[in-house]
Amino acid sequence: MRPGTIFHLGVKELRGLVRDPILVGLIVYAFTIAVYTEARAVPETLNNAAIAIVDEDNSPLSRRIGDSFLTPYFNQPSMITANEMDERMDAGADTFALDIPPNFQSDLIAGKAPVIQLNVDATRMTQAFSGSGYVQSIVTTEVSDFVRANTATRTPDVELALRSRFNPELNQMWFASVMNVINNVTMLSIILTGTALIREREHGTVEHLLVMPVTPLEIMLSKVWSMGLIVFCATLLSLVIVVQGMLHVPIEGSLTLFMVGAALHLLATTAMGIALATLAGSMPQFGLLLMLVLLPLQILSGATTPRESMPEIIQTIMLAAPNTHFILMAQAILYRGAGLSVVWPQLFWLTGIAMIFFIFSLRGFRRSLK
């Protein structure tokens, strides 16, 4: 293995990438516009939710509850009858329908426990999930204030001291922007490396390389370091310019430590890209394989939902995926400011998985050249 040969072959790959405007545009878009728009597009709070109120009590308390649903969280509540409620829900006119029963205020003052019915259109997942909590909190607050003001019996106030660590503003943009960059590291490294190998096949330059004094290991290493370098630099620039500069998302931990983990992850994913390109005979087949591989990697690795909420067998299987450990490491460093003493297990597993993937891909690449 000659470092000079690997270097020159890698430079050839970089020149080939620069001459491909589609791939260059994909890299720029994925680490700039896509990160910014996805972070801004994620709704941070409930916004303009449609709500209707069936006021069968028509008391000061029921009107007080109706007046407490304010913009921008809710639209102006529509006062409807009980007969209209189901029809409006079926037509999708309301996300929430609050039914205040008759004698609600008098039963509350008498010490009874009246029930308010809340109907939710659960097909609107984001609003249904967060909005139910908003409605419950608003109704509970208004009822508690009314009871304290109109009854002699006072319940002691209990104050909940909430301390939100690592994201004190509860800003979902912080999560969306960083995780989008992390997901793009996996996606682009696999795509670029696999595309580079398939492009060699389609142009017939693999045969030209084989008649030269180069080995399969040198060819594979040149693609790994060149494509990995592109994604490595794009990741660093995206975190500094887009995430920290444009979106003002704080990075708590060491960027140097994170980039070391990113380099190990890139070794594994670029090798995975070569393995997929070896299995695929053409670019369309490579695209189909990407859909079968990337979707489970992105969804089941903890980037979308916490791993703890998944079945144990899925958690165990996904430990073989490099991006599972990469995401654990990235979240610990970038969100919680963890150091090497915390993330060394993830770095260890990334190193082991990267070496296994590289050896497996090299063997497959050698067999494909025979």
Q: What is the pLDDT of residues 5-21, one digit of tens each?
A: 889 888 988 988 888 89
The confidence score (pLDDT) of residue 271 equals 92
The CATH number of residue 99's host domain is 3.40.1710.10
Q: How confident is the model at residue 151 (pLDDT cuts 50, 70, 90)?
A: low
Q: Is it the case that residue 156 has pLDDT exceeding 60? A: no
Mean pLDDT of the 75-92 span? 88
Residues 186 and 293 placed together within one structural domain of the fold: yes
Residues 316 and 176 placed together within one structural domain of the fold: yes
Could you count the other beta carbons within 10 Å of the beta carbon of residue 183? Answer: 22
- Residue 159 is assigned to a structural domain of this protein: no
* Contact yes or no for 329/187 (Cβ under 8 A): no
Q: What is the mean pLDDT of the chain?
A: 86
Residues 20 and 128 placed together within one structural domain of the fold: no
Strand partners, 79: 53
Residues 233 and 328 placed together within one structural domain of the fold: yes
Domain count along the chain = 2
Residues 233 and 273 placed together within one structural domain of the fold: yes
Residues 146 and 274 placed together within one structural domain of the fold: no
**HSE-CB for 230 with a 13 A CA cutoff:** 31
Tokens 């979106």, located at residue: 247
pLDDT tens track for 223-262: 999 999 999 999 999 999 999 999 888 888 899 999 999 9
Exposed e or buried b per residue across 243-253, where buried means at least 16 C-beta atoms within 10 angstroms of its C-beta: beeebebebeb
Residues 224 and 276 placed together within one structural domain of the fold: yes
CA geometry: angle 106, 107, 112, nearest 5 deg: 150
The confidence score (pLDDT) of residue 2 equals 82
Residues 237 and 342 placed together within one structural domain of the fold: yes
Alpha-carbon separation of residue 319 from 102, 107, 326 (angstroms) = 56, 56, 11
The confidence score (pLDDT) of residue 158 equals 57
Q: Is it the case that residue 280 has pLDDT exceeding 60? A: yes
- Of 117, 150, 183, the residue that ends a domain is 150
Q: Is it the case that residue 154 has pLDDT exceeding 60? A: no
- Residue 133 is assigned to a structural domain of this protein: yes
- Residue 69 is assigned to a structural domain of this protein: yes
pTM of this structure: 0.75
318: amino acid identity, one letter:
M
- Residue 58 is assigned to a structural domain of this protein: yes
The domain of 129 spans 51-150
Q: How confident is the model at residue 196 (pLDDT cuts 50, 70, 90)?
A: confident
Residues 91 and 192 placed together within one structural domain of the fold: no
Q: Which two tokens stand for residue 31?
A: 């680490």
